[in-house]
Copies of this chain bind each other. A is one copy, B any other.
Amino acid sequence: MAAQEQYEELARQLSAVAAVRRDLGRLLPPDCSPASAVVLALVQKHGELRMSRLAELMAVDMSVTSRHVTYATEHGWLVRLPDPADRRSRLLSLSPDGEALLREVSTRYTQALATCLQDWSDDDIGALTGLLARLRTSFGDCRARPQHLAHAADAAAAG
């Protein structure tokens, strides 16, 4: 097990990475919120999706997902079709405009990252991407067993 100092430093860096996310968000076209970019990218990556599945992938409450999807639908980037298998559910897919927007976003992100990360090797970038993916998995597994995180907080509070 790592030292406390090492965990504290990781927590600090995880907080600080928000600044990078804000920088990337500023690159987006006027009407495209960061959340819209995330939603569109996930629908593209996973294909036709239900709301509940999208909420799970974003790790946010479904009420939040619903607002983001409504916004993207009103802007013509996303299409909500009824699910023939379950009439409570709706299936999301990208519109042609959504695909075009996503290409634009990808171009801007790539351009900015290539500029800022000039001195990063492919391996560096791959290592960071891989570790972030693994971090999400580790936390996702924890979240699936809520007693873990809750226990950690309770134990700390009791100590």
Residues of B within 8 A of A59 (CB): 16, 19, 22
Residues of B within 8 A of A11 (CB): 24, 109, 113
The oligomer's copy count stands at 2
Residues of chain A from 135 to 151 with CB closer than 8 A to chain B in the complex:
135-136, 138-139, 141-143, 148-149, 151
Given A24-B11, A127-B131, verify A1-B138 contact (CB < 8 Å). Answer: no
| Bound-state Cα–Cα, A119 to B1, Å | 9
Interface of A is mostly: helix
- How many A residues are at the interface, by size bracket? 35 or more
Query: Could you say which of B18, B37, B60, B142 contacts A116, with CB atoms under 8 Å apart?
Result: B142
With A138-B119, A139-B116, A149-B112 as given contacts, are A14 and B8 in contact (CB-CB < 8 Å)?
no
5 closest residue pairs by CB, A with B = A19-B59, A13-B132, A111-B152, A112-B152, A108-B156
A-B contact pairs, 11 of them (CB 8 A): A2-B120, A11-B24, A14-B17, A15-B24, A15-B34, A16-B132, A18-B21, A108-B152, A112-B152, A117-B138, A124-B134
